[in-house]
Amino acid sequence: MLSFCSGLGTRDYVMTRRRWIADEVSNEHAALTGTHAQHLIRVLRARVGQEFDIVANGVLRRGRIASISENRVDFDLDEEVPTAISANLTLLLSIFKFDRMEWAIEKCTELGAAKIVPVIARRTDSHLASASVKRVERWRRLALQASEQSRRGTPPEFADPIRLSDAVNLTANLRIVLAETEDQSTIQEVLDSADGKTEILLAIGPEGGWTEDELQLFLTKGWRSASLGPTILRAETAAIAATVIAISALNR
Say what the pLDDT of residue 7 is. Answer: 37
DSSP the chain: -----TT--HHHHHHHT-EEE-SEEETTEEEEEHHHHHIIIIIS---TT-EEEEEETTEEEEEEEEEEETTEEEEEEEEE---PPPP-EEEEEE---HHHHHHHHHHHHHHT-SEEEEEE-TTS-HHHHHHHHHHHHHHHHHHHHHHHHTT-SSPPEEPPPEEHHHHTT---SEEEEE-TT--S-BHHHHHHTSTT---EEEEE--TT---HHHHHHHHHTT-EEEBS-SS---HHHHHHHHHHHHHHHHT-
Say what the pLDDT of residue 29 is. Answer: 93
Which structural domains are found in the chain, ordered by start?
Answer: 10-80 (2.40.240.20), 89-250 (3.40.1280.10)
Say what the pLDDT of residue 130 is. Answer: 94
Say what the pLDDT of residue 181 is. Answer: 87
Say what the pLDDT of residue 1 is. Answer: 32
- Give pLDDT < 70 ranges for the chain: 1-17, 82-87, 195-197
Say what the pLDDT of residue 182 is. Answer: 86
pTM surpassing 0.85? no
